[in-house]
Amino acid sequence: MELEGKSAIVTGGSLGIGSAIALDLAKNGANVALNYRKHDAEARAICDQINAMGRRGLVVKADVASFKDAEAMVAAVVKEFGHIDILVNNAGVNRDAVIWKMTEEQWDEALAINLKGYFNYIRAAAPFFKEQASGKIINVTSINGLRGKFGQANYTAAKAGIIGLTKTVARDLARFNVNCNAVAPGLIETDMMKQAPDDVRQRALAEIVLGRLGKPEEVAYVVSFLCTEKARHITGEVIKIDGGQYI
């Protein structure tokens, strides 16, 4: 168990990629606190699975766009687990529209959750990482933050911003033995993607050289690796997990 005794926060941990990350961290020995906003039953089900592994799970209902909620959650996790070692920023939303139809509200909500939310949690956790002179931060971005995507100006701007944030935080916290990296998934077989029209799935598959969509656990495996000491000399990196969708 390479993460035995570690404690982690996973934002957006009730569904999809976030839940897979939370479960894989627990399988590797970590106690895991989940942030969620809407899906109470799903969050508690993931927490129950973590507890069934012999780890400690914690669920906290919080809005990642709220600076105060982030501070409160990090403080609650430190109080419950005694320390925080890992922060995985994953929570996000899609508010898609072509640029000439995108509303101010769609832009603001996507940036508030998908980018400011990451800042909020990093800012809240950084003093604890500094004090203990260790920590791992993993930010979930997207290949669309590297290449752009039709109808997603708000989403891709936020995901590109996460990459800049990752590299800067890696510099800011390096002297305190804190690693900060990002993973950039391509299209992943989440529940939302399973409900997509067949023509959307076929267009996506045509881009992927491995010929299939990724699985949430395949993102989780890379995140867990980056949280171990095996990855101690990796920081400021963006690792694509996309089956060759964007080469």
Confidence of residue 22 (pLDDT cuts 50, 70, 90): very high
- pLDDT on residue 202: 86
Placement of tokens 């606190």 in the chain? 33
- pLDDT on residue 40: 86
Instruction: Determine contact, residues 135/173, Cβ cutoff 8 Å.
Output: yes
- pLDDT on residue 195: 67
The reply to whether 155 belongs to the active site is yes
Instruction: Determine contact, residues 123/180, Cβ cutoff 8 Å.
Output: no
Look up residue 186 and give its two tokens.
């391509």
Residues 6+ apart with CB under 8 A from 83: 7, 128, 132
Sheet arrangement for strand 7-10: 57-61, 31-36, 7-10, 86-89, 135-140, 178-185, 238-241
Separation CA 162–CA 183 (nearest Å): 10
Separation CA 112–CA 64 (nearest Å): 8
Q: Where are the domains of the chain?
A: 7-187+216-241
- pLDDT on residue 176: 98
Confidence of residue 5 (pLDDT cuts 50, 70, 90): very high
Flag whether pLDDT at 44 surpasses 70.
yes
Identify the architecture of domain 7-187+216-241 in CATH: 3-Layer(aba) Sandwich (3.40)
Instruction: Determine contact, residues 157/229, Cβ cutoff 8 Å.
Output: no
Percentage above 90 pLDDT, the chain: 88
- pLDDT on residue 238: 98
Flag whether pLDDT at 201 surpasses 70.
yes
When the pLDDT of each residue in the chain is averaged and rounded to a whole number, the result is 95
Residue 128, H or E segment: helix 117-132
- pLDDT on residue 194: 73
Confidence of residue 80 (pLDDT cuts 50, 70, 90): very high
Q: Region 208-219: what's the mean pLDDT?
A: 96
Degrees to nearest 5, angle at CA 25 with 126 and 27: 155
- pLDDT on residue 92: 87
Flag whether pLDDT at 18 surpasses 80.
yes
For 179-200, write each residue's pLDDT tens digit.
999 999 999 998 767 766 787 7
Separation CA 140–CA 22 (nearest Å): 13
Residue 32, H or E segment: strand 31-36
Residue 73, H or E segment: helix 67-81
Among the listed residues 36, 121, 155, 221, the single catalytic one is 155
- pLDDT on residue 1: 82
Confidence of residue 39 (pLDDT cuts 50, 70, 90): confident
Instruction: Determine contact, residues 10/3, Cβ cutoff 8 Å.
Output: no
For 124-175, write each residue's pLDDT tens digit.
999 999 999 999 999 999 999 999 988 999 999 999 999 999 999 999 999 9
